[in-house]
Chain A
Amino acid sequence: MRSGIATVFLIARRDFITRVRTRLFLIGTILILVAIAGYVAFQVLVLSKQGKVSAYKVAYVGGAQSLADPLAAAVKSLGFSIERKPVRDQAQGETQVLSGSLDVLMSGSADSPQVLVRDQFSPTLAALLNQIVQQRALDRELAGAGLNPAQVEARVASARVQVHSLKPPVGQEQRLQAVAAGFVAALFLYMALLTYGNFIAQGVVEEKANRIVEILLSTVRPEQLLIGKVVGIGLVGLLQFVVIGIFAFVVTTVTHVFTVPTAAAGIVLAGLLWFVLGYFLYAIMFAAGGSLVSRQEEVQSVVFPITMLAILAWFVAIGVLTPMFDGQPMSNVGIILGMIPFFSPVLLPTGMATGDMAAWQVLLAVVLTLGLTAAATWLAARIYANSVLRLGARVKLREALRGG
């Protein structure tokens, strides 16, 4: 006697091997890898170009020269720099500005400088300059009133709002990366659900259409065949997920597109957990749907409601996750939606990675999803067993549920 698990293993292994060996899988995976590499290359090129633009070529003549140091210090904190160019006089500077070899020519006194540019002046630089000039004016007034400007400034600087946080959030940058990673996980999961869900429905119909199911069911139980197929194709998806994940991790790390946060492992694990949970829930529905029809052409129409559910889940994910890119926490509506099993897979990776969902909420979502999956598996096995041997016209769902 062989155990049921060994039977499921045999079935899963066949589905895994025959699919991994196809050209479709190889080419599909390579295309995704090329797309990722292309995206990263694009990022690297665009970012490096933007980096060059942010160095301004500035020349000073006359009293304005004393503004050079404070301006250089001020721009440093904003992430761009100033390259100071020497000019002989105003006339040479004007020529250079006109030709474009100089961005800004500053002249006049330090208290009321003149700025010359070719077409328009950066509003950021203008604001900085105004701040510096106004500070100088303020210092002068303070000195005139017999006060020490440095002391006054120190006292002014110490007057500030004290912020206390009851639930200290993760660092803003880290949080954004968590949201971004959660979003990517949701996107990948959504695409994987549709792709592999359809593979499963087609695989079920294939067995039904060429009647091998009759031989298989004389030696294995319908639920073993169903679960074996779902697991086998799921492992193909998981393999692709892992290959793509490792590739993306290596490429983005090597090129420094993303600074991978320390919490990366947690996000990846959350994504993986929900990939498995979400995949199984949807896959089992796709399999039951596929068993109702006998021809590949009919697959799309019969799995349409399940496809719509997956698409709805993706829209829910966009709706809930988009505001979070502005730094907002996950909304209460989002948290409640996240506990609905059909939406959990696309929302929970983000909810877990950002810490916006409490442990009990995560646990509840897991339990609800597992519970619904168990119920769906029972129901799907029933539908599958009752319709997989019925060829010809599409089997009505009601008949499939009632049996025989």
Chain B
Amino acid sequence: MDAGLQVDQVSRRYGQVVALQDLSFQVAPGELFGFVGSNGAGKTTTMRIVMGVLAADVGEVRWNGGRVTLESRRRFGYMPEERGLYPKMRVLEELVYLAELHGLTSAAARAAAAGWLERLGLSDRGNDEVQKLSRGNQQRVQLAAALLYDPELLILDEPFAGLDPVAVDVMSDVLRERAKVGIPVVFSSHQLDIVERLCDHVGIIQSGRMVASGTVDELRRGGPRRYWIEAPMAVDGWAQAVSGLAVVRRDGSRTLLELADGTDDQAVLHAALATGPVHEFRRDIPPLSELFRHVVSEKAQA
């Protein structure tokens, strides 16, 4: 049960500003964990604390049950939010250097760097200076830098920001593949459609607190129960016959209903059939983006 990454009750302040407050989550081996939240919510701070470039005031980060040390972090792959590469170094040399810092021998570092450049379609750019590459290609190099030494955990801050659709696919494939071989992968993104498509688990962070977390399905079904119903013969007010039923809005002949807790959806269906034919009766599962807006605005009001 202790395998993977555990962030346990971590808090961090910057002067008077609370950046993180009792933040906890865990990522099991092979799990893709999507980290979403508004700007300044604390995603980057969390990742920096996991990577040890920032210290937590309180709380602990554990890896496979033990405290994270410099030695274990050397086996973590990290892609910081602000991309960090020496602009004047040649791509291949830079990757070899970073791989060696992570403990690879010179020969292994060369092989790994060449392999990842090939995989990411940059084989012919190995001898160019990093600064001569386009932004998207620099981002690929940055990804290669995080993957070179076969890390046991991946922490990627906004890996999809600024990528074209092809590059998004390449990045998605790589992350899926890494998770498939049993590596916990944590990444943050504002592109909620990608998170929804890619992730097993999602954590929504707001003002330094984890306000919702779980599988994408759990989160989406965790909101209010709403149903679309199309019953053309129904007259206004039929829904009042069933207790705990409210009309959210109408869309032509379709109606969106919200069911209170304890209201039986089958009872609603029977009431609808009593008015005549029913062409559609479907659970409305909101996309993650809607859920995210809902959670964030709710917390902002609280």
Chain A interfacial positions (CB closer than 8 Å to B): 1-2, 7, 10-11, 14, 18, 206-207, 210-221, 389, 391, 404
Contacts of A216 in B (CB 8 A): 101
Q: How far is the CB of A13 from chain B (nearest CB, A)?
A: 9
Name the A residues within 8 Å of B267 (CB-CB).
Answer: none
Residues of A near B103 (CB, < 8 A) are: 2
Report the nearest B residue to A206, measured CB to CB: B86
Residues of chain B with a CB closer than 8 A to A214's CB: 48, 51, 53, 78, 80, 82, 84
Asked if A212 contacts B85 (CB within 8 A), the reply is yes
Whether B76 pairs with A210 at a CB distance below 8 angstroms is no
Within 8 A of A (CB), among B64-120: 70-71, 73-74, 76, 78, 80, 82-89, 97-98, 100-103
Contacts between the two chains (Cβ within 8 Å), count: 59
**Once bound together, how far apart are the Cα atoms of A217 and B88, in whole Å?**
20
Shortest A270–chain B CB gap in Å is 36
CA distance A69 to B207 in the complex (A): 105
Q: A210-B85, A219-B74, A391-B82 are in contact. List 20 more A-B contacts (CB 8 A).
A: A10-B97, A206-B86, A211-B80, A211-B82, A211-B83, A213-B84, A214-B48, A214-B84, A215-B78, A215-B98, A218-B51, A218-B53, A218-B73, A218-B76, A219-B70, A219-B101, A220-B70, A220-B101, A221-B70, A389-B48
What A residues does B97 contact at CB under 8 A? 10, 14
Expressed in whole angstroms, the minimum distance between the Cβ of A1 and any Cβ of chain B is: 6
**A218 pairs with B87, CB closer than 8 A:** no
B145 touches A215 (CB 8 A): yes
Given the interface contacts A1-B71, A210-B84, does A217 sit within 8 Å of B101 by beta carbon? Answer: no
Q: With the chains together, A207 CA to B80 CA distance in Å?
A: 14
B84 & A215 in contact (Cβ 8 Å cutoff): yes
Assess whether A18 is in contact with B88, with CB atoms less than 8 Å apart. Answer: yes
Q: How far is the CA of A2 from the CA of B145 in the complex (A)?
A: 19
Determine the residue in chain A with the shortest Cβ distance to B80.
A214
Residue in chain B with minimal CB distance to A215: B84
CB–CB B54/A389 < 8 A: yes
- 22 inter-chain pairs at a CB distance below 8 angstroms, sorted by A residue, are A10-B100, A10-B101, A11-B101, A18-B88, A18-B89, A206-B86, A210-B87, A211-B80, A212-B84, A212-B85, A213-B84, A214-B48, A214-B78, A214-B82, A214-B84, A215-B78, A215-B80, A215-B84, A217-B52, A217-B53, A219-B101, A219-B102
Q: How far is the CB of B98 from chain A (nearest CB, A)?
A: 7
**A contact residues around B80 at 8 Å (CB):** 211, 214-215
